[in-house]
Amino acid sequence: MDNSTLNYEPLDTTQEKKRKTVSILKLVVFSIGQLNVAFSINSVQKVIKYTHIYSSGLTDIGIIHLDDQEITVIDLYQRLYKKPFIPQENQEGYLVIAKNTVGESFAIVSIETPSLIDVSLSQIRVLPESYRKSDTLEIASHVTVIPRENGSITVFLLDGDRLVPPTL
């Protein structure tokens, strides 16, 4: 058989590259007590140093003044562990400013510096609805296990709409 009878189509390298590209989600990961939680980078507006939070202390909700707006702050430590977060004298901490699906900004207190981590979409799994309905982690929608040098960490992806329900 000669080459003139072969049905030859040149390889489209862009299609081949698309097949090899792994879909990655960038996560802003931080700890709340013994839990590792995260937001998608698309939900995070910024991370700032901890600032004074105005609150009665009776609930897990407070407020900060940032630039020309007031932002709701959620003390996830208090919500999850029923004890308020009280920064130690030498503890700076951070506020992760995120938004829900209607664009309302809110902040979460983080004791440690949040990390930006790339995670393959294939590693992210939906949390079962039965688990979400029966645990304080109803505020998480997905979970992923991230391999590390000395083991792995489980990270729960927070659902901004469960933290701050959208209002119309």
Tell me whether residue 15 is in a domain.
no
pLDDT in tens, 33-78: 889 999 999 999 999 998 888 988 788 999 999 989 999 999 998 8
Domain residue limits at 32 = 24-163
* Cα separation, 83 vs 140, whole angstroms: 20
Its pTM surpasses 0.85: no
Q: How far is CA 48 from CA 26, 98, 118, in A?
A: 19, 11, 21
pLDDT in tens, 126-160: 999 888 888 778 899 999 999 988 899 999 999 99
Q: How many domains does the chain have?
A: 1
Tell me whether residue 9 is in a domain.
no
Tell me whether residue 48 is in a domain.
yes
User: What share of the chain has pLDDT > 90, as a percent?
Assistant: 55
Tell me whether residue 103 is in a domain.
yes
